[in-house]
Structure 1
Amino acid sequence: MREVGGALRQIRVAAGYEQLESAASAVNAAVRDLYPDVAAGPPARATVSRPHQVDGRYLSNVELGNANKLSPPDWLRTGESFEDEQLRSGQIPSWLVRAYDVAFLADGYLVDLYRWGVALQADQAGTPPRAARTRQFARVGVSGYDTDVRAFDAAPQAIRNLLGIHRGLLSTYPTAAPALDAWVPAHEDRSTLIADPTRDIPEGLPVRPGSYVVGHWILRNSGKVRWQDRLFVRVGQCRVGLTTPPFTPVPTAEPGQNVTISVPVRAPDRPGTYRSCFRLAWPDGTYCYPNTLVGAIVTLVVLPEEYLTCDQPWASR
């Protein structure tokens, strides 16, 4: 949620509301429009946040993550490998994120980012941290993969061919660890993202509603552990926003080797800004790098109808 808080602040300032008190007035107006029976202020000792009027100090605490710190989960609190790590993340109410999105014209970006942040927190609560049940190959298998990728039935042939290759590779994956220590995070296991400007999807790439793109990521095995039986898993289990496969096979890699992972993405039909996150995991959903909260990210901006011709050549006089 720390990234969500930072995004709230960035969107607010970008909209021209540098002063928190003036920002609070804009947020309060959005809250009144969005929710009936708005409270004058936060209720005392409430366990669930309800829509209420805010002031500059309240917004500052939310953006900086100064309220409701979460204690580290058991997997992070104990163990030599992660004893120095800390998880400090505030709890941001969903109604406030929506009000920010409306007040500062974020075009759905903040709502989608919040949904992704909630999914990250849910995944990290496991011991060990693992992907959502619907993203675990050991649970859903190839048949579950087939169900999810039906959304690509109308995709270009090249994308359907790519999904067919991935399906063939997934059919060789085990559904149970070959050894007790096979699917367990190791301190000497490392991954490095290699930039490739010729293939990387630019952050905030503008696309047409319902269009298809393919995201490419190059990862280097920069540790001392052989990569095997790994998947590139989408974080969370929500089916709204960008459409992607639940997981993508990752080639086996020795230390020092690079692998390329290609993931088809379908843009929503509704204009807005959408983001998805992917992390390396084993078939049972266990994350290979549990103390890395953010993985590979793709952000697309689906253009409204009035902007769809902006990429066309201008008529000469």
Structure 2
Amino acid sequence: MHTNDGDITDNHINTYNTNVFIYPDQDMAEIKKWKEKLISITEQVPAEADKIKPLIQFMVTTIAPAKIYMMKYPDVDTTVPDKYIDLLIVISPKNNTPFTELQPILDIAYLNGWRVSCSLHSEGNIIDGLRKGHVFYSLQCIPENLVYDDKVTTYPVTPPETLREAKSKAYIKFEQNFANALDFHEGAAYLQEDNTSRITGFMLHQAVELTFRGILQSLNGYDKKTHEIRVLRKQVRRCAPQLCPIFSDDSEGEKRLLDILEGAYSHSRYENDYEISEGDLNVLFEKVILLQDMAQRVVHTVLTPG
């Protein structure tokens, strides 16, 4: 195709030649290739994950993962959010795009009516973790959880004996951390008896923080260096989502209570006139009891040898 374009400058006509080349056969072939790719992606998605087909198509075409796993959790209690989807996305070493550039793409992942969370993991770490018995990878990165596979690399399955040993070590680690969480809870209960201590809220905060930290270290092999309950909760959601609704932001009332707990970490130690109402303290105590009970149940279910 050949066209003449012109404009007038200082009473002179300037003429430009524009050449546009169209290759219909090549373009149609490329379109056909992409259609076939999208169809092949959806055909891989198992029936129970049918609702996330659009998400899988989006991720495969934008970041080209090696594999995608949809997390599944043990049936411990009905408190597991039923509108929550967590996807573990494996990136091949052939993909040279930094995770910091891939993450913003995942942040826009959306599925109407569902809460979607995506985490990026390097293929090398996954394979190494499966061989060595990393508890989280060994339980989640299994063929039954696959919703997309580029079929380039076959991952190992953790040997049963290796997984049993890893579970046993993880359980011991949880018990050690959880003992400290229980001590803070008991200390807070002791201080509440006369209702005069300003650090009761701080003690409850530490009971929650150490419970979350114990979960992360034992079930995820990961320890987030922070005192922020919301940050820890976000990390815990990937390995023990049953705990997350206990301290949530799902309503203004719940958000207010969590703000009180978060603030107690510093306010109760540094502000002489700081106090938490008896009613709020009672609710926080109830929530800590629920959290620690659920944490024990989840860990027992996940880490019991079998």
TM-score under structure 2 length normalisation? 0.23
Specify the structure having the higher radius of gyration (Cα): 2
